[in-house]
Every structure is written in structure tokens, then in C-alpha cells.
Amino acid sequence: MGIAISNLSVKYGAETVISGLSLDVPEGCFFTLLGPSGCGKTTLLRTIAGFAPASGGQIRFGGRDVTELPPHKRAIGMVFQDYALFPDKTVADNVAYGLRARGEKGPGVEQKVKAALERVGLGHVLSRHPAALSGGQRQRVALARALVIKPAVLLMDEPLSNLDAKLRVQIRETIIELQREANITTVFVTHDQEEALSMSDLIGVMNKGKVEQLGSPQQIYATPRTGYVADFVGAANRTEVPVRPTASGLVEVEVAGTRLVATDALEGPADKGLLVLRPEDLAISAAPVAGRQSLPATVRSRQYLGSRTSYSVECAGGLVLNAEMHGAGHDAFQPGTAIHLGFDPAAARVIRA
Ligand SMILES: Nc1ncnc2c1ncn2[C@@H]1O[C@H](COP(=O)(O)OP(=O)(O)OP(=O)(O)O)[C@@H](O)[C@H]1O
């Protein structure tokens, strides 16, 4: 079932952490709340779960108003960063907890627990205690425990943050598979843009207790609506520029003394804007390329990263931009070299400053 949040406010004492937030998560959607530390994503998740009370507004699961219900009456499955397993219970008893809490007994419980643990590749550790498991195994147990009760919604708070990089990618895949299999509406909290982009159907980028932009991973990355979103999701060169409309629907901008054209994403008339250029959309060449607009610059420094090279370049007036080159000879440009930065107007967007 879907989640509908309307005009939600949450306070801690006198401090309002979330104010007037409205959001719809469609049924079966993998929805990610993405944002830096302190933006309120955990608070929002805890309010959806019922652990933090709403001070105003409404939360509905599939049309049912759950705003005033305690967590155990909301039919949620929850997975935490620190696993939150019961240390004195076996793996099997941890997973059985939710089933027993709602009065299920006997061999039916054992079968469900075994099947849930087999599904996460842990059918062989039923009688172990959590202390005898690795971090990745503990998080798999926590996932099995959350899903065995067939919850209405699955809520996950930074579940991959305590795992090392390789394991994180593996468990990411397990989570996605299980989520798709159960077709369960999921809210996933993270500050990691790669997790958000790779796992989600829909991302809400949070800033100071508000969802600043809501969209698919592709929409969030390719068409950020604010400088904050452009900067938080992926790397972005952002520079304030004077803007003039053109007849073609593009805008003319002036960057470091050079007139160029870019895509108009200003959402209304403006005489200045924020030009957003992704480093991978800037191509470095020794001379201007015919038919491609370009900006003269000088290489300041470069970082060879194996599959690509990241360059810092300086344009007239001291404007510093980052460019990233892929493909053969991507590390060819030495610091101090005069170069040209080419880009397609479609990849250069001007948004509200
Ligand atoms: N129990 C609490 N009492 C008072 N203030 C709190 C409490 N929990 C969180 N806050 C405050 O609410 C704001 C949002 O915190 P929240 O934990 O929701 O952010 P977050 O985006 O999840 O960050 P993090 O990733 O660091 O957990 C912060 O300013 C925080 O200090």
C-alpha cells in the first residue's frame, strides 16, 4: 500500500524539525530520503514508523490514517543502521519475534523463519547468536526479521552505513531483490547519493526539514532544480551568470567573459541565474572544436583516477571549474597547458540563483 503524508509537522520541544511536509509514495515504490546529516530524514522516517509523534498533519497507509497509532499497530517492518537485533536471542528467535508478538505459534512460525533466513542466504545459522555473525550477516537477519511479518511498509534507516564498501554493494542488491519480490512500499534513508541513485524508483532530496526536490534518480541527477540539489547529488560546477533569453528557447549567458548558450531551466523570467555544469559534460581539447561552443582555460591540476582523470581548470577572471575526462588519453593534459572547454548547451542548465 502507498504512503500519503499531508502537511506534516514534527517538533522536538520548541524546535520545529519538519514543517508542512506533504509527500506521496506510490504502492510498491522504493522511495529514498536523501540528505546531509541533520536535514530531518531520520525524524521523518521515525514519524512514519510512529516512534516520533507528529505535531500536525496526517500520515496514511493505503488510505488508513495511522497518524495516532503506536508503531506496533502500523504493520511496519523496520531495519536500522546498527541492526538492533536482540543479543540474547538466537537468529531464529530474532526473526520469529514479530510473528510470536502477534500470537503465531508452532511449526508454522518455524517454517516461516527458516524460509525467511534461507531467502537471505542464512539458513545455516538459525541457532547462532548475533555476536557470532559478521556485520553483513546481522543486517541480513534484520532484513529477514523485518520482512517475515509481511509488513505493509518497509522502513530502513541507513541500513548499509556500518558495512564495508564491497558488502554494501552486495546487500544493496539483496535489499532490491527482496523489495521487488515482496512489491513492498519502502522508505529508505541515506546520505549516500550512490545508494540513492542506484536503488530508488523515487528520491526526495531533503534540506532543512523539507523535500527540496522529488523525482526519479535520472530526473534528480540530470535536472536538479536548485543549486543545493545539484551540489548534493553528484559533483557540479555552479556559477552565477547574467542571463538573456534567446529566440530558440535557450538562454545566452556570459561565463568568464565569453558568451555562450545554455538550457533555460529558470522556470520564469530572470536576468541572472545559476549555471550548472557537470564535470563529465565538459570536454577538454587543445584547440576549439568546430561546431562546438567552448571556453578558453588553463589546466591548474589533475588527478589520475584510473578509468578517468579529474581536472581543475582556470578560466579568465579566476573562475575555477572541474572537468572529468574518460576514454583513451584522458590524462593527456598537463598542468599549465592552455586548453578549451567544450560543452553541449543541452548539458548546461541555468536554474534560479
Ligand atoms: N530526540 C531529539 N531531540 C531533539 N532534537 C533532535 C532529536 N532528534 C533529532 N533532533 C534534531 O532534529 C534535526 C534533524 O535530525 P535528524 O536525525 O532527523 O536528521 P538526519 O537528517 O537524519 O541526520 P543524521 O543522518 O545525522 O541522523 C537535527 O537538528 C537534530 O539535532
What is the domain-level CATH number for residue 208?
3.40.50.300
Query: ipTM score here?
Result: 0.93
Residue 63: predicted pLDDT: 87
53 touches ligand 1 (CB under 6 Å): no
Residue nearest to atom 3 of ligand 1 (CA): 12
pTM, two decimal places: 0.90
46 touches ligand 1 (CB under 6 Å): no
Q: Check whether residue 31 and residue 151 sit in a common domain.
A: yes
Strands (E) in the chain, as ranges, are 3-12, 15-25, 30-34, 56-61, 64-65, 76-79, 153-157, 185-190, 202-207, 210-215, 237-245, 250-255, 258-264, 272-277, 283-285, 294-304, 308-315, 320-326, 338-342, 348-351
Q: Check whether residue 258 and residue 155 sit in a common domain.
A: no
Residue nearest to atom 26 of ligand 1 (CA): 37
Q: Check whether residue 105 and residue 185 sit in a common domain.
A: yes
Residues 197-241 pLDDT 10s: 999 999 999 999 999 999 999 999 999 999 999 989 988 999 999
204 touches ligand 1 (CB under 6 Å): no
38 touches ligand 1 (CB under 6 Å): yes
Residues 10-62 pLDDT 10s: 999 999 999 999 999 999 999 999 999 999 999 999 999 999 999 999 999 99
Q: Using the 3D structure, point to which of 197, 229, 261 is the last residue of a domain.
A: 229
Q: Using the 3D structure, point to which of 186, 211, 229 is the last residue of a domain.
A: 229
For 329, counting Cβ atoms within 10 Å of its Cβ (0-12 exposed, 13-18 middle, 19+ buried), the class is exposed
Q: Check whether residue 8 and residue 119 sit in a common domain.
A: yes
Q: Check whether residue 55 and residue 200 sit in a common domain.
A: yes
Residue range of the domain that includes 137 = 3-229
41 touches ligand 1 (CB under 6 Å): yes
Q: Indicate which atom in ligand 1 lies nearest the CA of residue 13.
A: 4
Residues 73-87 pLDDT 10s: 999 999 999 899 999
Q: Check whether residue 118 and residue 201 sit in a common domain.
A: yes
What's the total number of domains in the chain? 2
Q: Check whether residue 215 and residue 248 sit in a common domain.
A: no
Beta bridge partners of 341: 284, 295
Q: Using the 3D structure, point to which of 211, 229, 247 is the last residue of a domain.
A: 229
